[in-house]
C-alpha cells in the first residue's frame, strides 16, 4: 500500500470504521505478534502483549501523519511497549536459555525429523549469540532477519538513517557469526555456515 492508502486506512479507523480496523489487524497482526514473540519467547505472553500493542495503536491513531510507512509506525509502538514491559526482566537472559517449546513456533517443519532437529539447535544457538552482543545490534538483526522488515521500515521505527541500519546489521551478523564460531570451536564441533545461520535460521 502507498502512504496515501496507509493514511486513509488510519483515518477510517479513527472515524470508527469497524471494517477498517479489521483490515488493520489482518494486515499487521502477524507482524505485531512476531515482534512481541521475539521479546517474550512465550506464545501466551506474546498474544497478551500484541493486544496491548493494538490498544496503544488505537489510542495513538491521531499521531500518525503518513510521513513514513504504517508498518514502521506500528513496529515502533510495538518495540517501545515491549521494551517498557520487558527490559526490567533482562530480555537477554531469556535469549540465553531458550527452550525447545519457545523455538518450535518459529520453525517451518519439514518431512525430515533430523533436519528439523538441526534447525532447532541452530535457532537456539542463534538466540544464545544474540544474548552475547549489544542490544542495539541484536535488535536490528531481529527486525531485519527474523521479522523481515525493510531497511527503511527499520530506520523509521528506530529513528535511524538507512546507512546506520545497514552498518549495524552488518556488525550484528558479523558478531553473531563470531560468537557462534567460538562456541562451536570450544565444543569441538564442526563449524556451521554462521553468516547463513544469522541471516536464515528460520527458513
DSSP string across 60-80: TGGG--SSS-HHHHHHHHHHH
Instruction: Give tens-digit pLDDT for 165-201.
Output: 999 999 999 998 888 888 877 776 554 444 445 444 4
Query: Do 39 and 18 fall into the same domain?
Result: yes
Query: Do 110 and 199 fall into the same domain?
Result: yes
Does residue 22 surpass a pLDDT of 80?
yes
Q: Contact at 8 Å (CB) between 177 and 132?
A: no
Does residue 132 surpass a pLDDT of 60?
yes
Mean pLDDT of 89-118: 55
Integer Cα distance of 63 and 154 in angstroms: 19
**Could you tell me the residue range of the domain that residue 157 belongs to?**
93-203
Query: Do 24 and 102 fall into the same domain?
Result: no
Domain finish residue from 89, 114, 146: 89
Domain finish residue from 89, 107, 127: 89
Q: What is the predicted pLDDT for the residue at 189? A: 54
Amino acid at each position: 500500500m502507498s502512504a496515501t492508502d496507509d493514511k486513509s486506512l488510519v483515518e477510517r479507523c479513527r472515524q470508527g470504521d469497524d471494517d477498517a480496523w479489521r483490515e488493520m489487524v489482518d494486515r499487521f497482526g502477524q507482524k505485531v505478534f512476531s515482534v512481541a514473540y521475539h521479546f517474550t519467547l512465550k506464545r501466551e505472553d506474546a498474544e497478551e502483549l500484541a493486544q496491548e500493542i493494538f490498544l496503544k495503536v488505537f489510542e495513538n491513531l491521531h499521531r500518525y501523519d503518513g510521513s513514513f510507512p504504517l508498518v514502521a509506525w506500528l513496529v515502533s509502538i510495538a518495540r517501545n511497549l515491549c521494551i517498557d514491559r520487558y527490559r526490567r526482566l533482562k530480555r537477554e537472559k531469556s535469549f540465553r536459555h531458550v527452550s525447545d517449546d519457545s523455538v518450535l513456533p518459529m520453525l517451518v517443519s519439514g518431512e525430515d525429523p533430523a533436519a528439523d532437529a538441526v534447525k532447532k539447535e541452530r535457532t537456539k544457538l542463534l538466540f544464545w549469540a544474540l544474548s552475547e552482543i549489544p542490544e542495539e545490534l541484536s535488535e536490528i538483526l531481529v527486525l531485519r532477519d527474523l521479522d523481515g522488515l525493510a531497511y527503511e521500515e527499520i530506520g523509521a521505527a528506530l529513528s535511524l538513517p538507512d546507512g546506520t541500519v545497514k552498518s549495524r546489521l552488518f556488525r550484528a551478523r558479523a558478531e553473531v557469526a563470531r560468537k557462534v564460531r567460538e562456541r562451536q570451536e570450544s565444543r569441538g564441533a564442526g563449524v556451521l555456515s554462521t553468516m547463513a545461520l544469522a541471516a536464515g535460521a528460520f527458513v
